A and B are shown apart, each in its own frame.
Chain A
C-alpha cells in the first residue's frame, strides 16, 4: 500500500517541530532554513498551514529535468532527487506549479520531499496530528468519517 502525507492545517499550531525534524533527518542539523516542509503563517486570519510536495503522479519536475536526476521511488511513490546527477540548473523549480522543489545554495543542488524513504520525520514529529502519513487511496478517510458522523440518524435523533 502506498502512503501519502496528509495535512490537516486546522490542527497546526506553528511549532515548527516538522521543519526541524526534516532538516535533522536530511542534514543532521536543526535548521528550518533547510526544511523541505514549510509552515506558512497567515497571522491576520489566525491560520498556520504546513505545505510540502504532494508527489504528483505526473511529476512536472521529473519531466522537466534535463539530466534525469529526479526519479520515482518504486516503494513509496516519492519523486526523489539524485544529488549525484543533479546539476543545479533549477529548471525543475520553474516546472513545479507548487514551489515545493527548491535550490540549496550550500550544495548547489535542488531539494524536495522524498518521504524519508517511507517514514516521514515530519509526520513523526508533529505533536498535533496536523501532518500524518496515510493510505494514498484514502486521504479523504478522516473527512468522510467526520461527515458520516454528522449524517448518522442516531446523532440527529439525540441532538
Chain B
C-alpha cells in the first residue's frame, strides 16, 4: 500500500490542523508526490490566483516509496503556484525531511490561508500544531533548525524552513531542509513566507509498514540497487565528483552558458569543476571537497560536503562558514560561476552556502547576477546603482550581491525579483535568460538542442529536471542522440517528460534514471503499492500528470507564445566549440512536439488526448 492514506490539512488563517483520508482513487491515477499533489492543487486552487495571496495553497507531498528501502526513497515535493513564474511550481528535495514526514504517518501536508503572525508547524506523529515563531522570524534556515531542535529537546527532529529570503519575498527563495537540501525552484519559499509559515518541524516514529508484498519489494529494491551500483554514472561518476562531473564535459561540448549566454564555453571551467574540488589548494594544502554525502535511502551519494580555506577573503571574518557544509552541485557552480564568468571556487562555495543558509535558488540567482553583470558591463547599471563594482568575472561582486539579496539590502532587493523583472526594468528584456520567467540552467540549447525544447516546454518554467535529454544527447542514456540536431528531439523530450513525472511522483530521485529506466522502477512500485502498476499504466500516469500541469498553466493564462526561448539563443550563434555557428532550432522542434503530444498548433491538448488520459 505504501501510502499512509492520511493527509494533514493546515488552515493558517483559522489556525487549525486536521487529518483527512487520502483520495485513493486519485492515488491510483496520479501515484503520489508531484502527480497526486498537483491533482489536489488543481482541484482546490483557482489557476488565476495571486501566488503570494492567502488564496494560494502550498502542498508538501511524499511519494509511495518515500521512507522505504527503495534507493533514494526519501524525496518530497512542494507544489504551489510559483511567484517567479505564475505557473505550476513543483520543487523536489532530498535530505531526510520527506522520509520523516512519512514516518510520522502523513502522505502530504496541504497548507492554506495565511497566519496572522509568524508560526511554525510542529508535527509529532499524529499530533500536529501551530506554534509561535516570532523568535524565529529573521533567522536563517540554519539558526531556525538549531533553535527548534533545542526548544523541543529533540536532536532527531527534521526541519524544513525558509530563511530571510523567503520572509523578504525573494521570488526565487526556496524551502531548505536538513541544512543544505532544498525544494529549490520557482520561489516556493516566498509562498511559505507570504503565509507567515516559518518552518515545518517533524518527528516521526511510526515508520512505513504497509507494503503490499514485502518479500517481493525487498527483492525488487535489492535488484534495483545493484543496477545503480554497477552503472558507471551512478556507481562511480556521481559518488566521486557529484553532478560536478559535468562541468568539464559540458564545457568541452560548447554547451556551458557563459557570461549570461554571450559565450558557450568558459575558460575558467576547469577551476570550478568537480576535479578541482578534489585538488589540494596551494593556500592551505586542503581540498575543497571533504566527502560525498547521501540523502535518505540513497545508494548513489552524489551530494558534496565542502570546506573552504579559513583564510579565503570571503570568510576571513566569518567563522560560521569555516566548517564543513553543503558544497557545490553542478548547477550552482555554473550559475554562481560561469554565468557571471567567475572562477574562484571557494568564493562560489561560500555564495552557495549563503544560498542554503538563507534559502535562495542558486540557479535563478546566479543567472540573475549574470544578467546584472551584463547590464553593468554595458553601462546600463552603474556602480552607484548597484552599490559595488559588478563586472563579469568579479568574485567579490558575487559574494557581496549574495549577502545583499539574502538580507534584503540595497540593490539586493532588485536582484531578489529575478532577471526577468530586472531586465524589464532597465529596458533590456532580451537579456533575461528565462522561459516563463524562470532562468534556464547549465546547458546551452545551442550546443544541446534537446534542452532548448526541454526549457521551452517545461511546465514550471525553464528547467533541466523535467526532461533531462542531456542523458541521451551527452551520455548516451538510454541511447545516444546527436546533441547538435533537432531531429527526433520532440519524441525524446516527450518520453523523458512523461517518465520523469513518474519518478517525481514515486518518492525517488530522478538521478536514479541515469541507470534506471521505468522498467527498474515498476517492480518496486508494483510490489509496494496497492493496485496494478504495469509499465503501460505508469507511462499513462506520467503523460496524465504532464497534461494536467499543462492545463493548469493554460488556465492561468499561458499560451504557446510562452513556450519560447530567449532571443539570444535563437539569433546569436555559438561562437566557439562543436556547436560553433549554431542557434537553437526551437522553432522547428516545437510544432513537432505539439503534434507528438496530441496538442493543437496553439499548444492546447486536443479533446481526444484528454479523453484518452481521463482528464
Q: What residues of chain A have their CB less than 8 Å away from a CB belonging to chain B?
A: 13-17, 20-21, 23-24, 27-34, 43-48, 125, 127-128
* B280-323 vs A, Cβ < 8 Å mask (1 yes, 0 no): 00000000001111111111010101010000000000000001
Would A30 and B294 count as touching, CB distance under 8 A? Answer: no
* A14 vs chain B, min Cβ distance (A): 5
Would B307 and A33 count as touching, CB distance under 8 A? Answer: no
Question: Do A128 and B301 form a contact, CB below 8 Å, given A29-B208, A30-B207?
Answer: yes
Would A30 and B68 count as touching, CB distance under 8 A? Answer: yes
Residue of chain A at shortest CB distance from B218: A24
How many Å lie between the Cα of A125 and that of B229 in the bound state? Answer: 13
Q: How many residues of chain B get a CB closer than 8 Å to chain A's CBs?
A: 37
* A1 vs chain B, min Cβ distance (A): 26
Q: Select which of B69, B96, B290, B301 is within 8 A of A13 by beta carbon.
A: B301
| Chain B residues within an 8 Å CB radius of A14 | 293-294
* A64 vs chain B, min Cβ distance (A): 26
Q: What residues of chain B have their CB less than 8 Å away from a CB belonging to chain A?
A: 67-69, 71, 96, 99, 103, 156, 179, 204-209, 211, 214, 218, 225, 229, 290-299, 301, 303, 305, 307, 323-325
Enumerate the 9 nearest inter-chain pairs by beta-carbon distance, A residue then B residue, closest first: A31-B207, A46-B324, A44-B323, A33-B205, A46-B290, A13-B294, A15-B294, A13-B301, A127-B299
Q: Select which of B214, B229, B297, B324 is within 8 A of A15 by beta carbon.
A: B297
| Chain A residues within an 8 Å CB radius of B218 | 24
Would B294 and A33 count as touching, CB distance under 8 A? Answer: no
Q: Select which of B229, B293, B296 is within 8 A of A127 by beta carbon.
A: B229
* A148 vs chain B, min Cβ distance (A): 25
| Chain B residues within an 8 Å CB radius of A16 | 96, 99, 296-297
Would B296 and A15 count as touching, CB distance under 8 A? Answer: yes
Could you give 15 example pairs across A and B, Cβ below 8 Å?
A13-B293, A13-B301, A14-B294, A15-B297, A15-B298, A17-B297, A24-B214, A28-B214, A30-B67, A32-B103, A43-B179, A43-B323, A46-B324, A48-B293, A127-B71
| Chain A residues within an 8 Å CB radius of B297 | 15-17, 20
Residue of chain B at shortest CB distance from A16: B296
Would B323 and A45 count as touching, CB distance under 8 A? Answer: yes
| Chain B residues within an 8 Å CB radius of A27 | 207
How many Å lie between the Cα of A47 and that of B323 in the bound state? Answer: 11
| Chain B residues within an 8 Å CB radius of A20 | 68-69, 297
Would A31 and B299 count as touching, CB distance under 8 A? Answer: no
Residue of chain A at shortest CB distance from B289: A46
Give 11 new A-B contacts, CB below 8 A, not counting A13-B291, A33-B206: A13-B294, A13-B298, A13-B301, A15-B298, A16-B96, A16-B296, A16-B297, A24-B218, A29-B207, A44-B325, A46-B290
| Chain A residues within an 8 Å CB radius of B206 | 31, 33
How many Å lie between the Cα of A32 and that of B102 in the bound state? Answer: 12
| Chain B residues within an 8 Å CB radius of A33 | 103, 156, 204-207
Would A28 and B209 count as touching, CB distance under 8 A? Answer: yes
How many Å lie between the Cα of A103 and that of B291 in the bound state? Answer: 34
How many Å lie between the Cα of A34 and that of B303 in the bound state? Answer: 26
How many Å lie between the Cα of A16 and that of B72 in the bound state? Answer: 10
| Chain A residues within an 8 Å CB radius of B323 | 43-45
| Chain A residues within an 8 Å CB radius of B96 | 16
* B202 vs chain A, min Cβ distance (A): 12
Q: Select which of A21, A24, A46, A127 is within 8 A of B307 by beta carbon.
A: A46
Would A15 and B299 count as touching, CB distance under 8 A? Answer: yes
How many Å lie between the Cα of A21 and that of B307 in the bound state? Answer: 32
Would B103 and A31 count as touching, CB distance under 8 A? Answer: yes
Name, among A23, A24, A34, the residue most crowded by chain B CB atoms within 10 Å (CB to CB): A24
| Chain B residues within an 8 Å CB radius of A46 | 290-291, 293, 305, 307, 324
| Chain A residues within an 8 Å CB radius of B301 | 13, 15, 128
Residue of chain B at shortest CB distance from A45: B324
How many Å lie between the Cα of A34 and that of B209 in the bound state? Answer: 12
Would A24 and B103 count as touching, CB distance under 8 A? Answer: no
| Chain A residues within an 8 Å CB radius of B307 | 46
How many Å lie between the Cα of A45 and that of B306 in the bound state? Answer: 10
Residue of chain B at shortest CB distance from A38: B156
How many Å lie between the Cα of A45 and that of B103 in the bound state? Answer: 28
Name, among B292, B293, B303, B325, the residue most crowded by chain A CB atoms within 10 Å (CB to CB): B293
* B59 vs chain A, min Cβ distance (A): 23
Would A17 and B207 count as touching, CB distance under 8 A? Answer: no
How many Å lie between the Cα of A14 and that of B95 in the bound state? Answer: 10
